[in-house]
């Protein structure tokens, strides 16, 4: 990947994060709680992926992205540990909502996620803008 391609990929991923949180809001407003959790997870995942690529950190799976984010940004103190916990929680919640039979989230569990998800994406976006 050329430096230009890398920068375009990073911009695409962070823009996808913002679009995906907007999609999660539409889903939540219409009572699709499990789908909203899925989209919130992916919004954070896209932002984390952009940050990892920007720092030339390889990840080949969702679990790997979570581990690499924790190793390079949470454990080093570059990013507050509450965002590492948020990523881990959303990862687990998405798995549960997507794959467990007869399980549904509700408004009380989903709406409170929007503020920290947006904060995390905004924080990562600022880091990316500083570097690009």
**Which CATH number characterizes residue 39's domain?**
1.20.120.330
pLDDT surpasses 90 at 81: yes
pLDDT per position as a tens digit, 18-57: 999 999 999 999 999 999 999 999 999 999 999 999 999 9
29's tokens: 């407003």
What is the C-alpha separation between 39 and 8, in angstroms, rounded?
A: 22
Number of domains in the chain: 1
* Structural domain for 95, as ranges: 3-131
> What DSSP element (H or E) covers 122?
helix 114-131
Q: Distance between terminal CA atoms of the chain?
A: 16
Residues 6+ apart with CB under 8 A from 47: 13, 14, 17, 120, 121, 124, 125
pLDDT surpasses 90 at 1: no
Residue-level pLDDT at 97? 83
| Local structure of 76: helix, strand or coil | coil
pTM as predicted: 0.95
pLDDT tier for residue 129 given thresholds of 50, 70 and 90? very high
């Amino acid at each position: 990947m050329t430096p230009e391609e890398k920068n375009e990929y990073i911009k695409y991923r962070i823009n996808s994060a913002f679009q995906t949180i907007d999609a999660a809001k539409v889903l939540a407003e219409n009572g699709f709680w499990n789908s909203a959790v899925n989209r919130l997870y992916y919004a954070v995942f896209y932002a984390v992926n952009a940050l990892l690529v920007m720092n030339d950190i390889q990840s080949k799976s969702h679990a790997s992205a979570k581990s690499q984010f924790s190793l390079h940004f949470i454990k080093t103190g570059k990013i507050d540990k509450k965002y590492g916990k948020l990523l881990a929680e959303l990862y687990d919640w998405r798995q549960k909502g997507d794959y467990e039979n007869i399980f549904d989230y509700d408004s009380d569990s989903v709406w409170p996620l929007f503020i920290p998800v947006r904060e995390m994406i905004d924080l990562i976006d600022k880091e990316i803008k500083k570097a690009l």
